[in-house]
């Protein structure tokens, strides 16, 4: 197994609030890793740390052979790590197609467009075909000419995934991708993510929908107040006392003692 990401002993505080505490985990190539934990446990902050949106206080993050923990977000994207946002905001004046096209920058540098018009056009045609295919896969073709800001919350999530995939990432991190997504689209999304994993893309998925997690993940890690308290198969979560405590606090222990 090849490790695609190694998060080693990272910590992060906002003022006096210690949000990540010595977090360590690795991600294998092609693995789909669930990232669970109650609200406020530090999941989004962990994604922000890996993607360079939040500077960490200590520890290291390595992707392939490259240290990425001091890199700005745009270099981390170029290193092959893409992410989506828990609450995606979309520009009011751009259509869905324009938003996806604007994200397609990993393979064609500025020189391509400036000095070589025919190949610039070829690159643009290629991007356009790729964007069309991704909108089709994520069932957004019928809204491709609508303003992106007018989409439903769930459609914005799918558009965020399309944008992330335009850059051909090696690692894709999704922050609550199912929230607001229509139930009929969920199965499609599961299939799409399984295909990506089959193609060697590693996925980190923050999600509260346990059905989604169990149908996708072989392993999940659980954060509780900044600590990883479990790393196990999703089927074993309900037997794990630390996981129950994380979600139910003292109530779970009191309940156990009462019965
Ligand atoms: P989760 O995604 O697990 O719900 P978050 O990572 O969003 O949790 O938040 C964890 C904690 O970090 C919360 O207490 C939150 O208020 C705090 N936090 C997150 N981002 C910031 C920030 N930019 N500034 C200050 N506190 C933050
Ligand atoms: Mg969050």
Query: What is the per-residue pLDDT for 1?
Result: 61
E-assigned strand segments in the chain: 3-14, 17-28, 32-36, 58-63, 66-67, 81-83, 171-175, 202-206, 219-224, 227-232
Whether residue 149 contacts residue 92, with contact meaning beta carbons closer than 8 Å, is answered with yes
**Residue 253 has what pLDDT?**
57
Atom of ligand 1 lying closest to residue 42 CA = 6
Ligand 1 atom closest to the Cα of residue 223 is: 3
pLDDT value at residue 187: 86
pLDDT value, residue 185: 82
Q: What's the CA gap between 19 and 46, in Å, rounded?
A: 9
Q: Is 43 in the pocket of ligand 1 (CB under 6 A)?
A: yes
How many Cβ atoms from other residues are within 10 Å of residue 65's Cβ? 5
**Atom of ligand 1 at shortest range from CA of 37:** 3
Question: How far away, in angstroms, is 19 Cα from ligand 1 center?
Answer: 7
In this predicted structure, what is the pLDDT of residue 110? 45
pTM: 0.90
Mutate which of 20, 39, 45, 50 to test ligand 1's pocket (most atoms within 8 Å of Cβ)?
45
Helix, strand and coil content of the chain, in percent to the nearest 5, comes to: 45, 25, 30
Mean pLDDT by 10 residues, the chain (259 residues): 90 97 96 96 97 97 94 93 91 94 65 53 85 92 96 92 93 93 86 91 94 92 95 91 82 59
Pull the structure tokens for residue 247: 């979600």
Go through 184-200 and write b for each residue having 16 or more CB atoms within 10 A of its CB, e for each that does not.
ebbeebeebbeebbeee
Counting ligands in written order, which one lies closest to the CA of residue 223?
A: 1
Q: How far is the CA of 165 from the centre of ligand 1 (A)?
A: 26
Residue 81 CB burial class (10 angstroms; 0-12, 13-18, ≥19): buried
Ligand 1 mutation target, pool 10, 11, 16, 17, most atoms within 8 A of CB: 17
């Amino acid at each position: 197994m090849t490790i695609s990401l190694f998060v080693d002993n990272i910590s992060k505080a906002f003022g006096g609030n210690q949000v990540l505490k010595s977090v360590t985990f690795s991600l294998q190539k092609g693995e789909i890793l669930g990232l669970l934990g109650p609200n406020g446990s530090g999941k989004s902050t962990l994604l922000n740390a890996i993607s360079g949106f939040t500077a960490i206080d200590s520890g290291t993050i390595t992707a392939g052979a490259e240290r990425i923990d001091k890199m700005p977000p745009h270099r981390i994207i170029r290193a092959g790590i893409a992410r989506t946002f828990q609450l995606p905001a979309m520009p009011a004046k751009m259509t869905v197609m324009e938003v996806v096209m604007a994200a397609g920058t990993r393979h064609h540098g500025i020189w391509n467009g400036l000095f070589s018009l025919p190949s610039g056009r070829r690159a643009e045609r290629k991007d356009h075909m790729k964007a069309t295919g991704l909108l089709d896969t994520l069932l957004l073709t019928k809204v491709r000419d609508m303003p992106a800001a007018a989409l439903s919350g769930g459609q914005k999530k799918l558009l965020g995934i399309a944008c992330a995939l335009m850059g051909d990432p090696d690692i894709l991190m999704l922050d609550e991708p199912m929230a607001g997504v229509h139930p009929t689209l969920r199965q499609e999304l599961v299939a799409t993510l399984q295909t990506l994993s089959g193609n060697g893309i590693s996925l980190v998925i923050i999600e509260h929908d346990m059905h989604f997690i169990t149908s996708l993940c072989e392993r999940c890690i659980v954060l509780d107040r900044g600590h990883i308290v479990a790393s196990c198969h999703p089927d074993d979560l309900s037997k794990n006392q630390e996981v129950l405590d994380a979600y139910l606090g003292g109530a779970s222990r009191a309940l156990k003692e009462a019965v």
